[in-house]
Structure 1
Amino acid sequence: MTRLCVAVSVALVFFTLAPLEAAAQLRNLTFKIHNFTTKVDHFSYRNNDTFQMRYVVADQHWAKWRGPIFFYPGNEMRVESFVYSTGVMWEWARHFTALLVFAEHRYYGESLPYGENSFKDLEHMAYLSSEQAMADYAELLTWLKNNLEGAKNSRVVAFGGSYGAMLAALMRVKYPHIVEAALASSAPFKMFPGLGSCDRYYRRVTEVFEKSSWGCARDVSRTWPVLDKLGSTPEGCKTMQEKFRTCHNLEPGNYPEFRDWIRRTYSVLAMINYPFAVTYRGPIPARPVKKACGIIRSGMKTEERMVDAVAKVVNMVYNSTGNNSCNNVYPTANMHAYKFQECTELIHPTCTDGVNDMFYPQEWSPEKFAQRCRERFGVTPEFDRMLKKYPMPDFFKTASNIFFTDGSMDPWAAHGLAHAPTIRTKYHLIEGAAHHVDLQFAHRDEPRPYWNARSFARWFIAHWISWYS
């Protein structure tokens, strides 16, 4: 039996997104990529290995001796992804006369502590954690301030989206002497076991589809029995393999994983449901959820057309240009690293029931999850580990100078803080917004609430860093 290795869970992905009209601007972004030597292990004396962490610097607007440092603590992608996607940092750099610094998260991109052996076994992967990554960033910032002419007294503002937003906010609390303020967009601090029901995320995805097009959730739910029938036979699987253009054989034995991949596609669409066209793995139209709903509805007349419609939606996300010969559902090295973190830190229980959401019944089983982690990485998850390290929501009770944002139409907002944890922090819910839209380049077609959110955040950040002047 051929096994499809797919990402069946929902990753805290910071998508490489930019408005299509900003694509020309991307060619004019001037920056330099550097390497910084840092420790593999910051917290013990047993391992003295070092590795090269990549980081990006853009200084065209920086006023030495007085301009702040805008810092992006990278999350689960290559550092270039954040350089091209975090438009708010580029757009504010001129106003603040800021130095831009983007760092690459260890074990992602090219910042591999042990090169091609980084994912060889648990011994090599054991140093992949949020604490180690934040220690990397703290060392980098300290080095820059001590060695870059004019940076010694620069105030540091951390920007982050999704997992990066969590890192930005946590760095403000853990390293307040290094990071003076933070903008944390779409930070799902309540995603962990014990902080809510497992059905919240996919119920919110369903809500996004239903609000975008009335009756869409019902239409999507009608497609699953049709797909399940095909997935139960070798002939049906071969038909779907051709229609979905998968790079690997689809068989009844691995159909459940394939089905989860389709479910995740709807999650992706909900996250990137912006009111303007963006580039993802190709051009994505404005309001793609509404577009997807129209495609699904057009296939409701026959079972064959239903399957064709679902395949068309999947290809709209992963192969919109049609240039790819097939859809490769195997995880990349970055996804492999994230799957490890998902077993050790970023545990996100999800479940669906097919009644209160548009999907199929699937329970969350801690036992099965733990078994998969043991089989794949040799680790047994500690389901309360993150809450022991960062007890939510109490962890932020003494926090200051953090501007939290969520989008009301972002599925991850189901795990957001929902309010400012202290009077010295701010929380803003962006009406109608998808995943970390306030970090993107501004767009002429964006609604007023997007502009308001950026304006509020900019005012408070300017106010906060002025305290240190």
Structure 2
Amino acid sequence: MEKQQHTLIIFIFISTYVISSTHPLMVIPRLSPIPEWETILYNNNFASSSLSSDDVKTFYYNQTLDHFNYKPQSYQTFQQRYLMNFKYWGGANSSAPIFAYLGAEAPIDGSPEGLGFITDNAASFNALLLYIEHRYYGKSIPFGSREEALKNASTIGYFNSAQAIADYAELIIHIKNTYSLKSPVIVFGGSYGGMLASWFRLKYPHVAIGALASSAPILYFDDITPHDGYFSIVTRDFREASETCYETIFKSWSAIETVASQPNGLSILSNKFNTCYPLNNSSDLISYLVSMYASAAQYNHPPTYPIYAGVVAFTGNATCKVNAPQNVTDTTQGWRWQTCSEMVIPIGIGNDSMFTADPYNFESFANGCQKEFGVTPRPHWVTTYYGGHDITLVLQRFGSNIIFSNGLRDPYSIGGVLNNISDSIIAINTVNGSHCLDILSAKETDPEWLVQQRKKETEIMKGWITQYYADLAALNETWTLFSP
């Protein structure tokens, strides 16, 4: 096993993050339930094939551009895409529930297939399944085209989380008015989408009776979470897998710099690491390695556990990936904007890790954003608008019906809610779990602890729905007693 792990520094397969070569943390690591390398390895037609099921129907809603202003341009609309699956629904007459998946920083195409938790449980709940695409991603693009929508700060300025969850509220109300006004709604989300789900429950409790927020680092803002927390967990994950592997990676950075400083050193590194193009500097290679190790830790799913198997052994030999041309997508563009405006997650690398120290520097980050978009990030807006500080003291008084689930091998779990806040705001943690694992499709190879985690989540949700029906019946009885 350790021999396989040593090969981690020899060949690289894929990076989940787009990271600047001049500063490895200029771009905040992606928040995504499904690792990009998994979709590439196992299903090259993942997104397109996922909509082939006859059970999943595509719809478009005439969505409001700006929910918070009354300027003439605010009344513009755009077509927001959403998907529905009626296969399991008990129908309007029974007020059967609606499961609403809140899309995050990617097109919604792959969600019905890739995020199978709600599909796996739809039959037992008789639930209608709804998947809503986040504005500015996929086909939910304002201003007629992506080029126009991302053209400048004036058009891209409508691209933020508050607008997104207002979209979700308006669309869910539309669905309820169309199909079943009394159906209870539970919202789901993973990673950034998990943050949206928890915030949605707090901002729109009249629309959704509960939320499952998987791997949602809602506390990774300001100084609530240590800036070096993410990479400290990456380091711990590798060290638990193999002390020798940890030591090898720790020593590799100085070895790379030593080779790079020699005559023809960059050529030697280019050949050794099978780069797509000759390296112009060592930082391109180092950034790629850092992102690859972080990705392996974040998505260290059973039963394969890429860290333990060795990333090369897990992925197999591949064509060049280091220093490859960037495949710029709406996700890479969109997430860059979101982190440069409001989703300012202050991630840095401290001294106690297997990486070279690289403390978080807001000024450097802000300068890059100002250069790219002409705007300065608002690092405190998320905690101002949604909260986060003293979360237990605050939420136990007014919040309810939220499940925060985290796998403790996930580096982003350091910014998650890891303790129960109240009897109905529950933290479910798994020691060996990874990023958004609980909301992925169930497999026969799933370990028992994962099976039990999902079982606990469904039991809690059934309790929410049972209580909703009891409250609804009591309310109807009261109306009957006092009706003229």
Structure 2 gap ranges (5+): 1-19, 470-484
Is structure 2 residue 379 aligned with structure 1 residue 380? no
Is structure 2 residue 329 aligned with structure 1 residue 332? yes
Find the partner of 1:146 among 177, 183, 190. 177
Q: Distance in 2 between matches of 1:434 and 1:31?
A: 28
Q: Distance in 2 between matches of 1:97 and 1:321?
A: 44
Q: Distance in 1 between matches of 2:279 and 2:448?
A: 45
CA contact (8 A) 2:344 2:378 kept: no
Find the partner of 1:289 among 295, 301, 307. 307
C-alpha deviation, 1:440, in angstroms: 0.9
What residue in structure 1 maps to residue 477 of structure 2? none
C-alpha deviation, 1:368, in angstroms: 0.8
Amino acid at match of 2:329: T
- Cα pair distance change 1:49/1:202, threshold 3 Å: same
Q: Distance in 1 between matches of 2:297 and 2:200?
A: 29
CA contact (8 A) 1:234 1:251 kept: no
C-alpha deviation, 1:331, in angstroms: 4.1
Q: Distance in 1 between matches of 2:263 and 2:213?
A: 47
Q: Distance in 2 between matches of 1:367 and 1:89?
A: 41
1:269 match: secondary structure: helix
2:355 match: secondary structure: coil
What residue in structure 1 maps to residue 462 of structure 2? 462
Amino acid at match of 2:236: E
Matches within 5 A, 1:84-103: 84-103=113-132
Q: Distance in 2 between matches of 1:326 and 1:223?
A: 18
Matches within 5 A, 1:38-437: 38-46=63-71, 47=73, 48-65=75-92, 66=94, 67-114=96-143, 115=145, 116-148=147-179, 151-232=180-261, 235-241=264-270, 244=273, 246=275, 250-252=279-281, 255-276=282-303, 286-292=304-310, 322=319, 327-353=324-350, 355-392=351-388, 393=391, 396-397=395-396, 398-437=398-437
Counting aligned pairs with the same residue, the percent is 29
- Cα pair distance change 1:256/1:326, threshold 3 Å: closer
What residue in structure 2 maps to residue 300 of structure 1? none
Amino acid at match of 1:184: A
1:190 match: secondary structure: coil
CA contact (8 A) 1:173 1:396 kept: no
C-alpha deviation, 1:230, in angstroms: 4.2
TM-score between both structures, scaled by the size of structure 1: 0.85
Q: Distance in 1 between matches of 2:357 and 2:109?
A: 38
Say which one has the larger Rg.
2
Amino acid at match of 1:334: T
What residue in structure 2 maps to residue 308 of structure 1? none
Could you report, residue by residue, the CA deviation over 1:366-406 in whole angstroms, capped at 9, with x for unpaired residues? 11111111111111122211111122125533111111111
Q: Distance in 1 between matches of 2:183 and 2:263?
A: 63
- Cα pair distance change 1:265/1:349, threshold 3 Å: same
C-alpha deviation, 1:422, in angstroms: 2.2
Could you report, residue by residue, the CA deviation over 1:239-298 in whole angstroms, capped at 9, with x for unpaired residues? 44455555566312xx4254223211111111111113xxxxxxxxx1101122xx7xxx
Amino acid at match of 1:262: L
What residue in structure 2 maps to residue 283 of structure 1? none
C-alpha deviation, 1:221, in angstroms: 1.2
Amino acid at match of 2:243: W
Q: Distance in 2 between matches of 1:408 and 1:345?
A: 26
Q: Distance in 2 between matches of 1:320 and 1:34?
A: 41
CA contact (8 A) 1:245 1:327 kept: no
Q: Distance in 2 between matches of 1:225 and 1:200?
A: 23
Q: Distance in 1 between matches of 2:155 and 2:53?
A: 38
Q: Distance in 1 between matches of 2:442 and 2:382?
A: 34
- Cα pair distance change 1:168/1:372, threshold 3 Å: same
Greater mean alpha carbon deviation, residues 173-182 or residues 342-351 = 342-351
CA contact (8 A) 1:431 1:449 kept: no
TM-score between both structures, scaled by the size of structure 2: 0.82
Q: Distance in 2 between matches of 1:324 and 1:258?
A: 10
Could you report, residue by residue, the CA deviation over 1:417-445 in whole angstroms, capped at 9, with x for unpaired residues? 11122222211111211111100111222
C-alpha deviation, 1:229, in angstroms: 3.3
- Cα pair distance change 1:126/1:182, threshold 3 Å: same
C-alpha deviation, 1:39, in angstroms: 1.2
What residue in structure 2 maps to residue 32 of structure 1? 57
Amino acid at match of 1:338: W
Amino acid at match of 1:443: K
CA contact (8 A) 1:233 1:251 kept: no
1:445 match: secondary structure: coil
Q: Distance in 2 between matches of 1:348 and 1:192?
A: 5
What residue in structure 1 maps to residue 5 of structure 2? none
Greater mean alpha carbon deviation, residues 326-335 or residues 395-404 = 326-335
CA contact (8 A) 2:285 2:322 kept: no
Task: Count matched residues.
Answer: 431
Structure 1 gap ranges (5+): 277-285, 296-311
CA contact (8 A) 2:273 2:322 kept: no
CA contact (8 A) 1:159 1:183 kept: yes
What residue in structure 2 maps to residue 307 of structure 1? none
Greater mean alpha carbon deviation, residues 157-166 or residues 439-448 = 439-448
Q: Distance in 2 between matches of 1:332 and 1:98?
A: 33
Could you report, residue by residue, the CA deviation over 1:215-256 in whole angstroms, capped at 9, with x for unpaired residues? 32111112112222344578433444455555566312xx42
CA RMSD of aligned residues (A): 2.8
What residue in structure 1 maps to residue 34 of structure 2? 15
Q: Distance in 2 between matches of 1:72 and 1:346?
A: 20
Q: Distance in 2 between matches of 1:339 and 1:180?
A: 32
